[in-house]
Structure 1
């Protein structure tokens, strides 16, 4: 069986992480795997973690959606490879590959939807999605919340299946990396909070900064990621007078090490598709605080696997941070429950569900 994965590129992100881990797991099982990317790799990429030999990777770099010559290249590539299953990720790839597969008479196409795109997709994009929905065998929603969003925007229930994300759990089962902590200049007696994600409005990092500003005594907040809100967030940090206790680390390739040195993981997002970083924190045995975005219901129950607070509520987030920081027993209890729960979200289970489609 030959399985083709299609995505824009392998720039650092949740969808890209899932593609790399799925491919590596399928290679471990002896499947014939191919990768088609439709844009050049950015500076920060997960490509180095991919075990797929270069000869089985193909890039057709689209400078625009209407590059006809590249559409022909994709068509010729698909006809040549003749994949048994095609798995596409993200809107640009989902759209182009579904259309070309229809032209090439390739029927086993499955499209992943990774986010709550209510405010991210234009109406034109939704119209294209509704038109193309019959051109894939199934649309895979990564959470119950994503499924509900798809239904709201006109995707038929019969065309949707929910498959939660998965991770390589063993990668995150690490003891604290003392060297990484020292390199970041974090004193031993400092309580470390961590958040990971694109620095965009969706992630609610402004809310986290405001909450942290009220409880930052002997604490440090690490922020991993980059994005268009970085300047504004750094400006807010200065305004809140917490420059010395907040560290913007940019994009990192050593997420397991960074997770190992934190004492608590926080995700204050306004909305999420599922949030692979939550699974990574769970596998790292870290106590977790999240906001009550819809997708969180699939993985975190308040008071069991973590603490859940209302979205955009600085006071509630501050109280949760204070509560966890002052209660080591609660931290340990939540972390252990989260670790037990994340076993259901292994990359092995994820691949099994794909292969059983």
Structure 2
């Protein structure tokens, strides 16, 4: 009986580059949170410190005993591989799951050297593989670690197939917690966030960085009626530039900077339309979260964004088209849409995603 019990108790270590607010990191946290109660799960962040990470992202606090930080310095640090080898020898994990190329280089190799039986690497986007140097580096890392390579979208799967002659590739699409992200009272949500009740609110969630394209949404707002405003959830290095842009375009009273929002369900619930104006994406979570809350969504056609949008209520816009973005957002103001939540429930429920990753560690894809 004791042997049977230990057979089902797994030790799982997820390795990320930097545990800070973001789609990949949120997904990793969900994999920890929704793991089987019998499993022991840790997240290792190569960069940063626990104290700073919790300060920047309070959501980490309940999991502080399950997160480890290596405070890696910039550049190549071979001592990190040695640290990971020592850690894996001590913990003896059953599964090491890396996310993106840095963790694959360090932890993927360390996991293979120490004989970790199940090695998984998830590729959350593949646009970086257009760079030949990075492509060669990742090919070497895959050869060294020999993980099950997971694409989080069909488009990413196809890109990986083109980039690498690697046999063990499967697709497990990202999922969101449909129990957490549910429709709610718009009036209640707006009151909680101190947002106007008499405006059509377009919401955008993500790091305030060039790649996320908030500047494109702000420019599109100049082409929209006065009753339409933008609410931005997130922090980042471009906040000052974005605030300057709103002043220059005389939009200061129509663009609301909320900073980092902990209760994202309330944020989505306050919206009339969600917008993802990104310049690059893998398979984003924010469009799925918004639609799980029954919010119709407009997004730039980049990466695998098209796979996330409800085919009835969602609208894709040509990448970089400000006028196209404005037109699609204006159309949403007058559109009676079907339930995008149904689409997410059927295709992107996180329970199915977690089950698929469990299947790998139990040999279903061998």
Q: Same fold (TM over 0.5)?
A: yes
Unaligned runs of 5+ in 1: none
Could you say what secondary structure the match of 1:170 adopts?
coil
Question: Aligned pair 1:104/2:126, yes or no?
Answer: no
- After superposition, the Cα gap between the structure-2 partners of 1:339 and 1:314, relative to the gap in structure 1 and judged at 3 Å, is same
What corresponds to 1:149 in structure 2? 159
What corresponds to 1:199 in structure 2? 208
Question: Aligned pair 1:72/2:82, yes or no?
Answer: yes
For residues 277-296 of structure 1, the aligned pairs below 5 Å read 277-296=286-305
- After superposition, the Cα gap between the structure-2 partners of 1:174 and 1:162, relative to the gap in structure 1 and judged at 3 Å, is same
What corresponds to 1:354 in structure 2? 357
Root-mean-square deviation over aligned CA pairs: 2.3
Between stretches 262-271 and 11-20, larger displacement belongs to 262-271
What corresponds to 2:146 in structure 1? 136
Residue from 180, 183, 187 that aligns with 1:171? 180
What corresponds to 2:317 in structure 1? 309
* Offset, 1:199: 2.1
Given that 1:216 and 1:245 are in contact with CA atoms closer than 8 Å, whether structure 2 keeps it comes out as no
Question: Aligned pair 1:339/2:344, yes or no?
Answer: no
Unaligned runs of 5+ in 2: 1-9, 361-366
What are the Cα deviations for residues 273-324 of structure 1, in whole angstroms up to 9, with x where unaligned?
A: 011001100111101111222402322254x141122111122221111111
Could you say what secondary structure the match of 2:257 adopts?
strand
User: When the two structures are superposed, what TM-score results if normalisation uses the length of structure 2?
Assistant: 0.86
What are the Cα deviations for residues 111-136 of structure 1, in whole angstroms up to 9, with x where unaligned?
A: 111123338x8544332201121323
- After superposition, the Cα gap between the structure-2 partners of 1:183 and 1:24, relative to the gap in structure 1 and judged at 3 Å, is closer
What are the Cα deviations for residues 47-67 of structure 1, in whole angstroms up to 9, with x where unaligned?
A: 5365x571x443322124544
Number of residue pairs matched? 345
- After superposition, the Cα gap between the structure-2 partners of 1:350 and 1:72, relative to the gap in structure 1 and judged at 3 Å, is same
User: When the two structures are superposed, what TM-score results if normalisation uses the length of structure 1?
Assistant: 0.88
What corresponds to 1:31 in structure 2? 39
Residue from 5, 13, 20 that aligns with 1:4? 13
Residue from 256, 261, 279 that aligns with 2:265? 256
What corresponds to 2:278 in structure 1? 269
